[in-house]
Structure 1
Amino acid sequence: MTDYYGLIGYPVEHSKSPIMQNQAFRLANIDATYQLFSIEPQNLAITLPQLVAQGIKGLNVTMPFKQAVVPYMDEISDLSKRLGVVNTITIKDGRLFGDTTDGQGFWTTITQAPKQTIIIGTGGAAQAIIASAPRTTQVHVFNRMSEKFAAKAEALADLMPEPLHDLATIAQYLPTADLIVNATSVGMRDEPSLLSPQQFSLTPKQAQVVDIIYKTDDTPFVSAAKQANREAMDGLAMLAGQGALSFATWTGIIPDQQRMLVAISEERRN
């Protein structure tokens, strides 16, 4: 009998998750299918219990439901409890177990362990990356100054000892940064990169640059880094990383993360 898995969010039509998850099921010889469930926010309370009643085995959760699904969980991981978010749900005997794989999925894509990490952004993805950061790296977090800056700084206080920095002061941190991460949505709508090629040129030549968003071509952040001849990648690798962890949570089988990444990368080129 075919098992069912999927992604809930709104909207979800753009998601690459079915491509990589269905390939992983095929490679593991598991009779299962992964599909998209676009749920309008006001319908979550009706639709989530319906999916559980219909026998769905596991779900990924994307915006705007990562916080909204938490009250529906029968059990929750320590990390999800700490962050107040869930992006992976496992259903067994009608009970829902919630976890978050975003941060861990990000760090599986980093090939060289950084000593100094710069993260731009303070949202859910940024917090997951910060909370999952290796103890061997010092994390500096930046955000543009606004009337919400103090509230954002307070939200991060439990996750890191260092205070939140104004993005305008980032230049002094760039010369020692091994890893620079855009953990904001800036660039999705063709806004200019938060850092210029000139700023990227201040970083060490071996610095890694990551943008957690992805598009059909290079994001502005990735493009600016490449103009400075820095190694840069977009959010597809993180998507594959968190997806592989979700798959392992559901099935007990560790999938080939690189093949999952290749599958979604090839689909984007087509």
Structure 2
Amino acid sequence: MIPVSYAQQRLWLIDQIEGPTALYNLPFAVRLRGTLDTDALRAATADVVARHEALRTVFPVDGGVPVQRILPSAEAEIAFETVDCAPGQYPALRDRAAARTFDLSAELPIRVTVFSLTDARPAPASAAEHVLLVVLHHIAGDGWSLGPLLRDLATAYAARRAGRAPDWEPLPVQYADYTLWQRELLGDESDPGSVLSRQLDHWREALAGLPEELELPTDRPRPPAPTGAADAVPFGYGPELHAALAGLARRHRATLFSVLQAGLAALFTRLGAGTDIPLGTGVAGRSDEAL
């Protein structure tokens, strides 16, 4: 059995504590117009799952700890479903499919649903409309994974439509290779000389004394328990403001990211959060071209 990566261990632990939850589902929907070969798409999905071991990995427990079990391609049962629905029914059906939970110990961490949007009025096949919904569990991918995933799916679909298997170069590494490298590099927490132990010591010191939460003015009280509810707040700014910010960054030999982060910290301070502002940033971690 292959050990899990630290990121996988974190997500597995959350799953054990909270039970199956859709909070770490990554749904991605693509609207398709024209004739769709569902059989070719199903075969293409199998091709992609065979290509990427992370998509056919389950997480049983061995000796009290989670491990990676990579299923052979022939044993990987892919959840692929087709649904006929009226356009008005689609949003609710999409949300329900996106919120369906995964059993990480036994189910593949990917699910595909094809919605065929049917109308009462007859229409030619060229005007047909479908939505491809891919739901990926975060234990097998992240936001950066969706680009390669959809590119490989498109390549495999084109090949299957042409009556052949996709002809692509083998991947230079698989996720299990990265996991073993990570474990070897970081070492064991019990070893005070290991990279992992030194990093933990650093962050314990750097984050010591942080407030449990920032005191910020809010429109409504925080709920007693997390709900998982979230939303997006879109905003835009013009080229003049962008040019001014970029100029400020150049004058101070900083990145535009650092300028925006400093501005956010200053805003929080003005709102009463103090001067010790913890700001976290999502990082893809693709430090090597092979990843």
Query: Which of 1 and 2 has higher RCO (CA within 8 Å, sep 6+)?
Result: 2
| Larger Rg computed on CA atoms | 2
TM-score, normalization by structure 1: 0.22
TM-score, normalization by structure 2: 0.20
